[in-house]
Amino acid sequence: MVSQILTNILNKAESLNLLKGIRINETLHVNHTLYADDLFICGLASRKNARSIKMCLELYKTITGQRPNMSKSDLFFPTWVNSRIKKAIIEILDIKQKTFLFKYLGSLISPFRIPVDYFKALITKVESKLAHWKTMHLTMAGKVTLANATIMSIPLFGLSTYAIPESILESITKLIRRFIWSNTSNNTGVHLVGWSTVTSPKSEGGLGIKDLKIMKRALLSKLVFELLNQGDKTWVKFMLYKYGCLEIWKPNKSKKISWTCRGLITTARDIKGKITITNVHPNCSVWSDPWLFNVPINQMPTYVNVHNDISQLQVGDLLAHKHWDNDRLNAIFPNWLVHHISSISISYKIGNTEWKWMHNTKGKSLTAAIYDEFRLKDQSNLWSGCQKLWRLNVVPKIAIFL
């Protein structure tokens, strides 16, 4: 309730034109984000805005009796802001200036590409955990449990937000691998089976440890689907405004895209052959959208009359009174394809084209289904008794030995 008071104060100040946040249009704007006691205020770098922010914080203090800790607060400016304005804002707010990057709720924030060195903190964190555990006499079952429950969670939070460099993931994987197979504190030990086997599910004879590179693809794929389906989340709206719809089948012509967006585009192109449109809209592109097959027509052998230019054609142009125009279809496509198109239903529901994972998720979450699809599967030596072994009423170290 107390936090809501501050939110109301800041939003009211913006509605009175006292505070200028980041405003894209009438429905898309933000002046702050707030989680528990972590407050992030963003807006125009001006003296007026600085005075308004100070006024809002003073009003909040008067109402609630809570005073923001300015000594733990920091100011961040874009590189293009005038130095005199910077100095004036610092004096008004009495907050020290710092340079990008910084952390907010565990995520790295920067307008620039994040250097690989900043991600080395993940490796350091894993090493500190392992250094303590190496002093303990752990069985292999205990090591696997700790690796799954604790170590794997360290990079997973970051992977669900941005594309962590693969060199960092490889380093973390090496540390986990050495920890599991080591017999002494100096990481010596024989790796009895390949890592692809260790990262297989227990039902397939593995130990159920996740492959971080595949998890990276699976977690980012979830964000790709939110972007493709143009969800209601604020970050999706900002990305759509700045970069437009995610066109994964077209070459990216713009070089000025953020590091985060580039990671999502790369992931989208990795999975594009395994996603499909569930509702064909009249505004789907006949040429560059996969409305007919799981790939666009322009990616397939010549199935159209080459004398017709359909590069700018939409599905709606092939309709007459909400039904397929057979004359138009026959002029462009062969008979067998016209028959196939005629069986497709057109969606006139208000909204955007909906994308989904092509394969059956079998009751799994989207992330789990994508992970399972991309991991290496060796069905040749699959033994049906693996599941039964893990159900035996024995301690885990015996089950692993078996």
- Give, in order, the Cα–Cα distances in Å from 329 to each of 203, 304, 306: 50, 10, 14
Looking at the predicted structure, is the pLDDT value of residue 197 above 90?
no
| pLDDT mean across residues, the chain | 83
Burial 263-299 (b: 16+ CB within 10 A, else e): bbbebbebbbeebbbebbbeebbbbbbbbbeeebbee
Could you give the CA distance from residue 141 to residue 21 in angstroms, rounded to a whole number?
A: 52
Could you give the CA distance from residue 251 to residue 242 in angstroms, rounded to a whole number?
A: 17
pLDDT tens digits, 262-278: 888 889 888 888 888 88
Residue for token pair 């400016």: 77
Scanning 182-296, the segments in alpha helix (DSSP H) are 195-198, 212-228, 234-243, 259-271
Looking at the predicted structure, is the pLDDT value of residue 289 above 90?
no
- Backbone Cα Rg of the chain: 27
pLDDT tier for residue 54 given thresholds of 50, 70 and 90: very high
Could you give the CA distance from residue 267 to residue 247 in angstroms, rounded to a whole number?
A: 12
Looking at the predicted structure, is the pLDDT value of residue 184 above 70?
no
Could you give the CA distance from residue 120 to residue 124 in angstroms, rounded to a whole number?
A: 6
pLDDT tier for residue 47 given thresholds of 50, 70 and 90: very high
Scanning 311-350, the segments in alpha helix (DSSP H) are 326-332, 335-342
- Please choose, from the candidates 205, 243, 203, 199, the residue with its C-alpha nearest in 3D space to the C-alpha of residue 224: 243
- Please choose, from the candidates 220, 219, 195, 221, the residue with its C-alpha nearest in 3D space to the C-alpha of residue 209: 195
DSSP annotation of 280 reads B
pTM across the whole model: 0.82
- Tell me the residue length of the chain: 402
Could you give the CA distance from residue 278 to residue 70 in angstroms, rounded to a whole number?
A: 51
Structure tokens at 17: 């034109």
Looking at the predicted structure, is the pLDDT value of residue 92 above 90?
yes
How would you classify residue 283: left for phi > 0, otherwise alpha for psi between -120 and 50, otherwise beta? alpha
Contact present, 286 and 315 (Cβ < 8 Å):
yes
Could you give the CA distance from residue 184 to residue 371 in angstroms, rounded to a whole number?
A: 33
pLDDT tens digits, 234-250: 888 888 888 888 777 77
The pLDDT value given to residue 124: 92
Looking at the predicted structure, is the pLDDT value of residue 379 above 60?
no
Contact present, 281 and 315 (Cβ < 8 Å):
yes
Give the DSSP per-residue string, 12-57.
HHHHTTS---EESSSS-EESEEEETTEEEE----SHHHHHHHHHHH
Burial class of 62 by CB neighbour count within 10 A (0 to 12, 13 to 18, 19+): exposed
Looking at the predicted structure, is the pLDDT value of residue 381 above 70?
no
Burial class of 200 by CB neighbour count within 10 A (0 to 12, 13 to 18, 19+): buried
The pLDDT value given to residue 322: 85
- Please choose, from the candidates 168, 142, 167, the residue with its C-alpha nearest in 3D space to the C-alpha of residue 154: 168
Residue for token pair 């066109």: 247
- Neighbouring residues of 303: CB distance < 8 A, sequence distance ≥ 6: 297, 333, 334, 337
Could you give the CA distance from residue 327 to residue 243 in angstroms, rounded to a whole number?
A: 37
Pairing status of strand 319-320 against strand 102-104: unpaired
pLDDT tier for residue 387 given thresholds of 50, 70 and 90: low
